[in-house]
Amino acid sequence: MCKKTLVSFAMYAALLVVFLGLINAVFNLGRFAFFGELLILLGLLGLGLVAVVGLNSNFSWSHKLLAGIFTLGILDLLFIKIIATTPISFFKETIIAALAGLLIALFSMEEEKPKQQVKKTHKPGKYIASKSGSKYHAPKCDWAKKIKKQNAVWFNSKEEAKKAGYKLDSCVN
Ligand SMILES: [Zn+2]
C-alpha cells in the first residue's frame, strides 16, 4: 500500500468514527436540540461526501475541506456535550478520531505546498515578452522579471516571437 492510499484510508477511518460518534451523540439529545443538531449533522455528512469524492479525484481542496469538517465536528461535539443532559458515550474516542483526522488533513495540506510553488515558477515557454513591449527576453533577464503576469506573452522559439512582431533583446543569445 503506498503512502497516499494509507493517508486516505486513515482519513476515511477518522471520518467514519467521527460521524458515528456524532450520530450517537445527536440521538442522545432531547427533542428540540435533536432537530437542530440533526440538520448540522446532515450538512456535515454532505460536506464529508464532497470531500471523499475530492480526495478520490486528488483535488487539492479536499484536504482543506476535510480539515474544516473535522474542526466543525470537534466544535459540534463540544457543543453537544454542553447542551446534553445525559452523558455521551464514545465522546473521548470521537474527539480523538476528529483530532487525528484534522492532523492528517493539515499534514497533507503541508505536503502539497511544494507542488504549488513549482507551479508558480513554471515557465510555459522559452522566451517572454510583454504585451506592451517591443522586445522579447530570456526569462532570467531583469527586464523579463519586471513583466507582470497578466501582460506576459510566452514563445517557444525565436521564430514564434519574431512572427508576433517582437525584436530580440540583447539577453537572448
Ligand atoms: Zn532582456
75 CA distance to ligand 1 middle (Å): 55
- d(CA 30, CA 33) in angstroms, rounded, equals 6
In this prediction, residue 95 carries a pLDDT of: 94
132 CA distance to ligand 1 middle (Å): 14
In this prediction, residue 30 carries a pLDDT of: 78
137 CA distance to ligand 1 middle (Å): 4
Burial class (CB in 10 A: 0-12, 13-18, 19+), 165: exposed
Protein residues with C-beta less than 5 angstroms from the ion ligand 1: 137, 141, 143, 169, 171
Q: What is the DSSP letter of 75?
A: H
35: left (phi over 0), alpha (psi -120 to 50) or beta: alpha
In this prediction, residue 117 carries a pLDDT of: 53
Q: Write the CB contacts of 93 (distance below 8 Å, at least 6 apart in sequence).
A: 17, 21
Q: What is the DSSP letter of 68?
A: H
- d(CA 22, CA 142) in angstroms, rounded, equals 57
Q: All 3 cell numbers of residue 69?
A: 469538517
In this prediction, residue 56 carries a pLDDT of: 84
Per-residue tens of pLDDT for the chain, all 173 residues = 577 788 888 989 999 999 999 998 888 887 778 888 999 999 999 999 999 999 888 888 889 999 999 999 999 999 998 888 888 888 999 999 999 999 999 988 877 666 555 555 557 889 999 999 999 999 999 999 999 989 999 999 999 999 999 999 999 87
173 CA distance to ligand 1 middle (Å): 10
- What is the residue extent of each domain of the chain? 3-120, 127-168
